[in-house]
Amino acid sequence: MLIRTKPALTESDVTDKSLYLNRRAFMRGAAQVSLAGLVGMSASPAQAARENDSVRAWRKELQPKLDSLRPWAGSTGEEQTPLQDVKRYNNFYEFGTDKGDPAEEAHQLTISPWTVRVDGEVGKPADYALEDLIQPHSLQERIYRLRCVEAWSMVIPWVGVPLADLIKRFEPTSKARYVRFETLVRPEEMPGQKALFSSVDWPYHEGLRMDEAMHPLTFMAVGLYGDILPNQNGAPFRLVVPWKYGFKSIKSIVRISFLEQQPTTTWSLIAPEEYGFYANVNPDVDHPRWSQKTERRLPGGLFGPKRIDTTPFNGYGEEVASLYAGMNPRSLF
Ligand code: MTE
């Protein structure tokens, strides 16, 4: 991505980092990796010590639902990215622009209580407590590929609810053609928001067309690997849109607005020629500064990055291509 306070990211930056991650993953060994999958985040005492009270309170609140997670038939059977890598290689500019900054800084974030404002073209606008939003739903586990525009990818077992199930409860009006999402602004807990020359105009915000938001694949995550979301992955409540580049999957959401007009989005305001509104994964449309034909699946193999071909719509074309019938795929970057 691009940010003016630092040199722009290049593909080689990402490669170096993934090689580094590979070595670390190898050192930790396969046994620990699969254990992480089994026990979710109830990991090391050091980690637990960094959790603040609000994290413990939210986990307690959600635990009964986490205990009765439902698997989802559409999950990919691909090898999952180890939890340690999902938690340590992040884009969350509110905590800094380096991939390691969120894991270092996000333990400060207070995630409970958490309120989500729902407004705009809906019959039931309100400030909803997150637990009330989630309460009527059972939680699903969905294993999706996540493809970042920077040409790396992961496979993540998310926990959450389909966005459509939430939207129906808000009773959108016939004027609701787009949905806009907004992330928390709290500079005292988000050091990236205090940066003097940040090119991001906070709050980070994103948008979907209404039919994209209502699509059965569009998911609101409250967890991953069987536990609540780590703060650095967008706790307590984030969007996951698996056929779009990762920057659409906005984290730590505090506001959902239903609109008649297409909203602006954070990255299209920063660099409109590089990051569009649609951001559908497409190997045939290169980023102006690098190819999108392949991706590095993290954490990679023993002897180098695991490079694989990128597929249209990140492999979800059968389900979603019809949403864009008649549109020029080149305009959907
Ligand atoms: N949401 C917010 N609020 N701030 C961000 O910087 N980064 C995006 C997206 N959501 C971002 C965000 C990008 S570029 C990616 S690739 C994904 O989050 C990364 O999600 P992960 O760190 O959980 O893998």
Confidence grade of residue 39 (pLDDT, cut at 50, 70, 90): very low
Environment class of 184 (CB within 10 Å of its CB; exposed 0-12, middle 13-18, buried 19+) = buried
Q: Is residue 204 part of a domain?
A: yes
Confidence grade of residue 31 (pLDDT, cut at 50, 70, 90): very low
State in Å: Cα 123 to ligand 1 middle. 30
User: From the CB of 93, is ligand 1 less than 6 Å away?
Assistant: yes
Average pLDDT over residues 237-253: 99
Average pLDDT, the chain: 89
- Please count the structural domains in the chain: 1
Q: Is residue 171 part of a domain?
A: yes
Question: Are the C-beta atoms of 264 and 320 separated by less than 8 Å?
Answer: no
pLDDT over 90, % of the chain: 81
How high is the pLDDT of residue 300?
85
Environment class of 182 (CB within 10 Å of its CB; exposed 0-12, middle 13-18, buried 19+) = buried
How high is the pLDDT of residue 13?
42
State in Å: Cα 92 to ligand 1 middle. 5
Q: Is residue 80 part of a domain?
A: yes
Beta partners for 147? 153
The CATH number of whichever domain residue 152 belongs to comes to: 3.90.420.10
Instruction: Choose one of 6, 91, 104, 186 to mutate for the ligand 1 pocket test, by most ligand atoms within 8 angstroms of C-beta.
Output: 91
Indicate if the pLDDT at residue 30 is higher than 60: no
Average pLDDT over residues 140-161: 98
pLDDT tens-digit profile of 198-239?
Answer: 889 999 999 999 999 999 999 999 999 999 999 999 999 999
Confidence grade of residue 3 (pLDDT, cut at 50, 70, 90): low
Indicate if the pLDDT at residue 261 is higher than 50: yes
User: From the CB of 235, is ligand 1 less than 6 Å away?
Assistant: no
Alpha-carbon distances, residue 301 vs 26, 38, 161 (angstroms): 9, 22, 33
Predicted TM-score (pTM) of this structure: 0.89
Q: Is residue 6 part of a domain?
A: no
User: From the CB of 246, is ligand 1 less than 6 Å away?
Assistant: yes
Confidence grade of residue 49 (pLDDT, cut at 50, 70, 90): confident
Q: Is residue 16 part of a domain?
A: yes
Q: Is residue 5 part of a domain?
A: no
Q: Is residue 254 part of a domain?
A: yes
How high is the pLDDT of residue 23?
32
Which ligand 1 atom is nearest residue 156's CA? 24
Return the minimum-mean-pLDDT range out of 32-41, 117-126, 160-169, 180-189: 32-41
pLDDT tens-digit profile of 282-303?
Answer: 999 999 999 999 999 999 888 8
Residue 249: name the closest of 225, 226, 221 by CA: 221
Alpha-carbon distances, residue 75 vs 144, 311, 315 (angstroms): 6, 17, 12
Return the minimum-mean-pLDDT range out of 6-15, 37-46, 180-189: 6-15
Q: Is residue 2 part of a domain?
A: no
Residue 247: name the closest of 281, 209, 224, 216 by CA: 281
State in Å: Cα 142 to ligand 1 middle. 18
User: From the CB of 92, is ligand 1 less than 6 Å away?
Assistant: yes
Confidence grade of residue 38 (pLDDT, cut at 50, 70, 90): very low
How high is the pLDDT of residue 157?
98
The range of the structural domain enclosing residue 248 comes to 11-331
The two structure tokens encoding residue 17: 């980092």
Q: Collapsing DSSP states into helix, strand and coil, what is residue 297?
A: strand
Indicate if the pLDDT at residue 72 is higher than 50: yes
Beta partners for 143? 157
| Distance between CA atoms of residues 113 and 131, nearest Å | 9
Residue 28: name the closest of 44, 9, 6 by CA: 44
Q: Which residues contact 308 (CB under 8 A, 6 or more apart)?
A: 153, 294, 295, 296, 297
State in Å: Cα 76 to ligand 1 middle. 21
Q: Which comes out higher in pLDDT, residue 332 or 134?
A: 134
How high is the pLDDT of residue 40?
43
State in Å: Cα 90 to ligand 1 middle. 7
Question: Are the C-beta atoms of 324 and 332 separated by less than 8 Å?
Answer: yes
How high is the pLDDT of residue 167?
98
Beta partners for 162? 219
Indicate if the pLDDT at residue 101 is higher than 80: yes
Question: Are the C-beta atoms of 276 and 289 separated by less than 8 Å?
Answer: no
- For residues 298, 203, 181 and 284, what is the CA-based torsion angle, rounded to 10 degrees? -40
How high is the pLDDT of residue 50?
86
How would you classify the pairing of strands 304-309 and 294-301?
antiparallel
pLDDT over 70, % of the chain: 86
Q: Collapsing DSSP states into helix, strand and coil, what is residue 215?
A: coil
The two structure tokens encoding residue 128: 């909803």
How high is the pLDDT of residue 260?
98
